[in-house]
Structure 1
Amino acid sequence: MGEATLRPVRGGVGGDPLGEFEVGYVGLDGIEHRIPLAGAWSVRFERGRPARRFPQYKGQKHFPGRWWTATMGHHVGYESWLERDHLMLLDFDPDVVAVASQPFWLFWANEQGKARSHAPDYFARLADGGARVVDCRPVERIKPKDAVRFARTRAACEQVGWDYRVVGAPDAILVRNVRWLAGYRHPRHDLPAVVAALRRVFAEPGGLLAGAEAAGDPIAVLPVLFHLLWRHDLHTDLSTPLHPDTVVTAAVAR
């Protein structure tokens, strides 16, 4: 079954006790739903289907694609390289346990009573049961109408207790480091004997390459080391470029 999409239309269900917003989404079974905002806080958007398709046309400037998430074990879509980078960072974030792309339509009426809508880029389920809604847009590309949509989305998220963020370009060094580690995010790199050796070696902080050599053949050990850094079982400072002498530790950084 193909991805269903919801269109911004007038009307919809009534009786929203919060009064301003409705939410439209597509369940895993492909059925479309439109509900009051008050009922949306309990919806598992991370288990549904995208509420809108990514447009594809000749000459488009965006680069849509799909990212395999280690967090969920399947692909999640992105509509631009900026979205890809933030999707990767959500996948890397230990506080995120699930993520969905284009999770829902938010509907409201403007001051003139005209129907308006917005589909955020991502919905992330957090380990504590909360949620984070994300829109990706460089500050210099936020037009007045976009600012209104983002402001209304923030207001809706605040009403149901969700964190809402509008994010631009992330730190370039962090992205490069995490992208490197992401190459080793697949669980095939979880080799128990090597994992145990690395945990012993890095019980005390030490250099990345020296530690890999102490744990065994670096050719075999380094992929596991990078996997453990991705998984946050080993820790290092990712605000500076990774290099052979990067200090790694098994202790949680404080």
Structure 2
Amino acid sequence: MRLVNSWLKIEKSSGAVRRIPTNVRSLTGNVNGQEFESSLERDLLLLVHWDYGVDWYQSQPVKIDYLDAFGERRSYTPDLLVTYRADGAHGNEQVNSRRPLLCEVKYRSDLRKQKDLLKPKFKAARAYAKSQNYEFRVLTEREIRTDYLKNVQFLWSYRHAYFHEHHYEKLMEVLEELGETSVSKLLEVCYSSKELRGEALWTLWCMISRLWVKCDLSIPLSMQSVIWVVSDE
């Protein structure tokens, strides 16, 4: 345990510092071994697990002891810590443009109701994050429950699913020739049979979920979504 500020102490481990108890009043469970205690936390874990740029993440990662407004010692455990992969090199050092993210997940209504209670906790978290060169953010349903999340939820089962190799080869070959096109157009060019287009669509979703084929996941996926081949450059 080390001192960061006179009112703030830190306890950190490689695993969760607080276990989430089974709760009959809210949703609990885990994603890839990381526990959550609300559906909003679950949704954030889905997004983090989906992100190929993430190197490591841990729920309930650090315990922060601090003094409240009355001088009483309290403790606070943020919901999640995420670190990112290096995305380039500068000299002999790997460069990562995204700082580790320490975050708290809260519904907007709870932020309003618990404003006075949460203020000193978030102050302690920001001080700790600054001392570690992390970013601290409070994430609500506005930041988490987006069209991007809906697309991730749809594509989730395709990322590690079996797909047809012959469909993959044909779809990729034609897509490279066409350049940007829509999902429906690619299938129409590749196959005259409705049955084969339906079968190949499964493989195409697998390709998109693995990021072999690119599309804008910030807008709702549809048969009219524009897709293109990821450049090797």
TM-score, normalised on structure 1?
A: 0.70
- Partner of residue 166 from structure 1, selected from 110, 132, 138: 138
Q: Please say if 1:140 is aligned against 2:132.
A: no
**Could you give the per-residue CA deviations for residues 50-90 of structure 1, whole angstroms, max 9, x where no partner exists?**
211212244x1x1111223xxxxxx3222111111111111
Q: Which residue of 2 aligns with 1:202?
A: 175
- 2:215 alignment partner, SS class: coil
1:151 Cα deviation after fit: 2.4
| Change beyond 3 A, Cα 1:22–1:89 | same
| Larger proportion of strand | 2
Would the aligned equivalents of 1:136 and 1:167 in 2 still touch at CA under 8 Å? yes
Residue type of the partner of 2:30? R
Would the aligned equivalents of 1:109 and 1:116 in 2 still touch at CA under 8 Å? yes
Would the aligned equivalents of 2:181 and 2:227 in 1 still touch at CA under 8 Å? yes
Q: Please say if 1:184 is aligned against 2:163.
A: no
- 2:56 alignment partner, SS class: strand
Q: Which residue of 2 aligns with 1:10?
A: none
Q: Using the aligned pairs only, state the percent identity.
A: 22
| C-alpha distance in structure 2 between counterparts of 1:190 and 1:212, whole Å | 15
Query: Unaligned regions of 5+ residues in structure 1, if any?
Result: 1-12, 27-47, 69-74
* Aligned CA-pair RMSD: 2.7
| C-alpha distance in structure 2 between counterparts of 1:190 and 1:106, whole Å | 46
Q: Which residue of 2 aligns with 1:156?
A: 128
Superposed counterparts of 1:36-115, under 5 Å = 48-58=14-24, 60=25, 62-68=26-32, 75-115=33-73
Q: Which residue of 2 aligns with 1:21?
A: 8
| C-alpha distance in structure 1 between counterparts of 2:6 and 2:163, whole Å | 49
Would the aligned equivalents of 1:92 and 1:230 in 2 still touch at CA under 8 Å? no
**Could you give the per-residue CA deviations for residues 19-71 of structure 1, whole angstroms, max 9, x where no partner exists?**
55332244xxxxxxxxxxxxxxxxxxxxx32211212244x1x1111223xxx
1:195 Cα deviation after fit: 4.5
| C-alpha distance in structure 2 between counterparts of 1:118 and 1:197, whole Å | 54
| Larger proportion of helix | 2
Q: Which residue of 1 aligns with 2:212?
A: 233
Would the aligned equivalents of 1:121 and 1:135 in 2 still touch at CA under 8 Å? yes
